[in-house]
A and B are shown apart, each in its own frame.
Chain A
Amino acid sequence: MYELPTSQFPSPRSRFSPSPRLLPWLIVGVVLLYGVLYPNLHVVIASLQSDAGWSLANYRQVLSQSIVLESIFASVGVSILTVLFCAAVGVPLAFLFERYAFPARRLFATLAALPLVLPPLVGTIAFIFLFGESGILARFAQSIFGLENSPWSLRGWPALLFFHTYTMYPFFYMLTGAGLRRIDASLAEAAQSLGAGRLRVLARVVLPQLTPSLIAAALLTFMTSMASFSAPLLFGGSVRVLTLEIYTARQRGDAGVAVTETVILALISLSALVVFQRYEGTRKFAASALKGATKKRQAITGGRARALAIAGGVIFSLILVLPVATLVLVSFASEGQWTVQTLPPSYTVANYAKIFSDPRASEVFLNSLSMSAIAAGAALVWSFCVAAVMARKGGRNWKRVLSWLILVPWALPGTVVAVSIAEAYGQTSPLLGSFILVGTFWILPVVYFLRFMPLVVRALQASMEQLDAALEEAASSLGARWWRRLTRVTLPLVWPGAVAGTLLAFVIALGEYVASVLIFVPNNRPVSIAIASELREFNLGTAAAYGVVLMLIIGIIMMVATRLERSRA
């Protein structure tokens, strides 16, 4: 009556068509080999070589310079303090917006994520225009109190920490908020019913469950701060951090020192990653099988508390929006007119006209858009390749190595990625033949891809983890083999997440400066390089106009991404 179902599958078509299955493996292997393994090993090897062959001479030289030791100390110190400051701002804010309801809460909550989409370089110049010693606030204070000089200077540790907190607290804000939304409200209610007071519930029930979110936020903040470059460059003052040291060593043409410092920076970042991940592993909670309700927002109804919440929200929003508003204001200032006044004295649209009429100026937007699109598109395809490889059963150890290699470019500061690619593909080598990337159009898209593809892979993996495992099992019980399961069930369900991740990568690549400044090609300048050079020539209005246009593009793309994310739910 029944035949064994194997006989229903004679299809030689599916058995002897290896091309679509082997392609992802090939791509993943080649990219990781040439994009991650080779350049990084090349840098490590180069750092271990001197004129006399293998030696530790580079390290001895570098570590004997007090300035290098200082910069290591500064990088780590700034990063740790940044984590603490960001937590102090982001965590209470997340509690306020997630747990309480008050007028205009949604507006404030949306604004709170604003710094995330601000390219670091653009944020830096906005800070200079607003908070700098010749910025609007300093001039305002001078004119009121009749001071001769600026009452403060935007330099050194305080300036760096202020800027880092402004740009990186959203990591804590967003992740804590997401963590709070995940917590089952009945757990807190159970604790209350057992007689625990509010503080005890917070300390013993809520915070322990938030720990994974807090660790993830601390990791993100620490790594971003270690990689920070624009802010130390423009107002670090006497604070020398490692990224800056690498940049100046390369500018001097001191390749040995640059490479050695790169290895040191990479080692610090990677060991931070290992430490954080190990700690995270010990603090993971098994997801509760029963789904509970999330806590309802508590309305702030008391008159004074309500007024306080709104006032706090307004002040907070002003702090967030003012730098951006300043940038918009300056973008309309006539070049060369704004000297000692508090606000620019005359306004014009000439800066924008210049950007859009001068082909050399508008070209940079096309450059950035096309290079970012290539990198983000490649990252999307790549993330699907990784998913296809990971979808196969077995080979757990190989998969672990794979996910580590994919994570490495994300964990490495942009400076490190740029230096390693430039060093590895700057000259012909017996391994690569006459293949040279430095000086070509392709070097920036390649670096953008390497830096931001982990974001897309993570986004895709996150959507895949949310997928009910029973769906794949149902597909396989219906006779679908892994390729059909992947293409007909998994990918159609996870692509919105992957595309949202791709758009995020695209947006970050658009404003990329850290790696670009090390390896850009003069006839293919990205927007960030144009901004920096306008700034150097004191064309403040033009620099600001570039920044505003960049932010507009980013804003539109982020809106699309948000809508996409919402359509999934």
Chain B
Amino acid sequence: MGVAEIDHPDMSLLSLKQISKTFDKTQAVADVSLDVERGEFFGLLGPSGCGKTTTLRMIAGLEKPDAGVIEFDGRDITNLPAERRGFGMVFQNYALFPHLNVFENVAFGLRARHTSKPEILERVNSALDLVQLPGYEKRRVDELSGGQQQRVAIARAIAIEPALLLFDEPLSNLDVTLREATRGELRELVARLGLTAVYVTHDQEEAFALCDRISVMGGGRILQTARPRELYEQPAQLSVARFLGRNNLIRAMRLSSSKSDLGEFKTLDGGHTIRVPVGELDLAPLNQPCILAIRPEHVVIGSGNDNTANALEAEVREINFAGATSSIKLDANGLLLEALTLEADGLSAGDHCSVVLPPERISLLKNE
């Protein structure tokens, strides 16, 4: 959790405070706290079953937390039913009303508010304009393509001028090209309307492209909340590092004779000495096993000399060509590493080369 929110709790639009939810005997959400700022596009990211959808449904008011408090704009809304929260929600399967046409679907929330007829007409039309579906008012929803249905669902959610916009994996039913195009439009639309959004997804790329900040969830808990780049480069935990893309995970032991800014670690495989910047000393107690992580694209091949930090001798085991990049599997005296390079530089399996693990690219993971 960032420091800023804790210093200024009043600033957050939405606050979840130690929310828990149990279904039968499974703990779906455990002790989740998070703050969403005004105008922020906030992501909940995690594998299926991690509790992200349940968290979103509790924000929407569709589930009631067993414990904890949900505050919106400084008011406790924990027990407020969904219909009185005024949050727009876009469902995974869109949940369009099959017996109503496009216009009536979008007008549904306005009619529930007893909005006047001319205003309904105006707001529905402008919502349909925003999602680029003008002229579709009289169409039956089952005549529309998946992408169009998705736009109607978004129009329906924004027509009520929601205080908060909630998305439950809204793009997962679209094919890849449409998904990427819609992603951009969605981001732009939410920014243009100045809305605050909470977005649930299991797709890391989608979350990184859309969200200002992301909470990575696992096992019903929030593992880390940070900006996308920070999550990627400095995962705080092993499970976050594992979930977000490929990573070289190196088991190591901290040596007692370490310098002040760079800690010295001995790898358990291969017995190499690796220097890593250490900020918080308590993260890696002396002589305790811990885990170092480095992204394959940050592993440098070939340019090492004896003075470079963390230069290791390695043998090429396998080269996998994958279009723009090549993945190279290396064996450094028993320590298996993966490197991602743009060109394989004439290497082939069995060659010997030098591998550099730049200290600033290595993150030290919290033990779990």
Q: Are A468 and B112 in contact (CB under 8 A)?
A: no
B86 contacts across to A, CB distance below 8 A: 4-6, 8, 479
A481 within 8 Å of B (CB atoms) = yes
CB-CB nearest in chain B for A9 = B84
A473 touches B95 (CB 8 A): yes
Q: A4-B75, A4-B163, A479-B113 are in contact. Are A473 and B82 (CB under 8 A)?
A: yes
Query: Can you identify 20 A-B contacts, CB atoms within 8 angstroms?
Result: A1-B38, A2-B73, A4-B73, A5-B84, A6-B86, A9-B113, A468-B95, A470-B92, A470-B93, A471-B95, A474-B156, A475-B108, A476-B81, A478-B83, A478-B88, A478-B160, A479-B109, A480-B83, A488-B108, A493-B99
Report which of B89, B97, B194 forms a contact with A477, defined as CB distance below 8 A: B89
Alpha-carbon gap, A473 to B82, bound state (A): 8
In Å, the complex CA distance between A175 and B279 comes to 68
Residues of B within 8 A of A493 (CB): 97-99
Query: Is there contact, CB below 8 Å, between A477 and B87?
Result: yes
CB pair B80–A489 under 8 Å, yes or no, is: no
Q: How far is the CB of A510 from chain B (nearest CB, A)?
A: 31
Please give me the residue from chain B that is nearest to A467 by CB atom: B98
A-B contact sample (7 more), CB < 8 A, given A474-B91, A481-B81: A4-B163, A478-B108, A478-B109, A478-B156, A478-B157, A479-B86, A493-B99
User: B82 contacts A476, CB within 8 Å?
Assistant: yes
Number of interface residues of B (CB under 8 A): 38
Q: Which residue of chain B is the closest to A5 with respect to CB atoms?
A: B86
Check if B73 sits within 8 Å of A480, measured CB to CB: no
- Give the complex CA separation of A176 and B89 in angstroms: 40
A54 to B99, CA, bound (A): 59
**Given known contacts A489-B97, A492-B99, A493-B99, A477 and B62 CB-to-CB distance under 8 angstroms:** yes
Give the dominant DSSP class at B's interface: loop
> In whole angstroms, how far apart are the Cα atoms of A474 and B57 in the complex?
11
Contacts of B113 in A (CB 8 A): 8-9, 479
Is there a chain A Cβ closer than 8 Å to B199's Cβ?
Answer: no
Whether A477 lies near B83 (C-beta < 8 A) is yes
Closest to A484 in B: B112
Give Cα A475 to B156, complex, Å.
10
Set of chain A residues within 8 Å of B314, measured between Cβ atoms: none
Alpha-carbon separation in the docked complex, A475 to B113 (Å)? 12
Please measure, in the bound complex, the distance between the C-alpha atom of A493 and the C-alpha atom of B38, giving whole angstroms: 38
Contact B98 A478 (CB under 8 A): no
- Interface residues of A, dominant DSSP: helix
When each residue 153-186 of chain A gets 1 if its CB lies under 8 Å from chain B and 0 otherwise, what string results?
Answer: 0000000000000000000000000000000000
Of residues 469 through 501 on chain A, the ones whose CB sits less than 8 Å from some CB of chain B are 470-471, 473-481, 484, 488-489, 492-493
Which chain A residues (224-263) contact chain B, with CB distance < 8 Å?
Answer: none
Nearest A residue to B87 via CB reads A477
Interface string of B95-136 (1 = CB under 8 A from A): 111110000000011011110000000000000000000000
Cβ–Cβ < 8 Å partners of A9 in chain B: 84, 113
CB A486 to nearest CB in B, in angstroms, measures 12
B272 interface residue per 8 A CB criterion? no
Nearest A-chain residue to B153, judged by Cβ:
A474
A479–B160 CA distance with the chains assembled, in angstroms: 9
Nearest-neighbour CB distance to chain A for B340, whole angstroms, equals: 34
The answer, yes or no, to whether B85 is at the interface (CB within 8 Å) is: yes
B72 CB within 8 Å of chain A: yes
Closest to B161 in A: A2
A448 and B234 CA atoms in complex are apart in Å by 73
Q: Which residues of B contact A484 (CB under 8 A)?
A: 112
- Determine whether B60 belongs to the interface, using a CB cutoff of 8 Å to chain A: yes
**Chain B min CB distance to A395 (Å):** 15
Indicate with 1 or 0, residue by residue over A5-26, a CB within 8 angstroms of chain B CB atoms: 1101101000000000000000
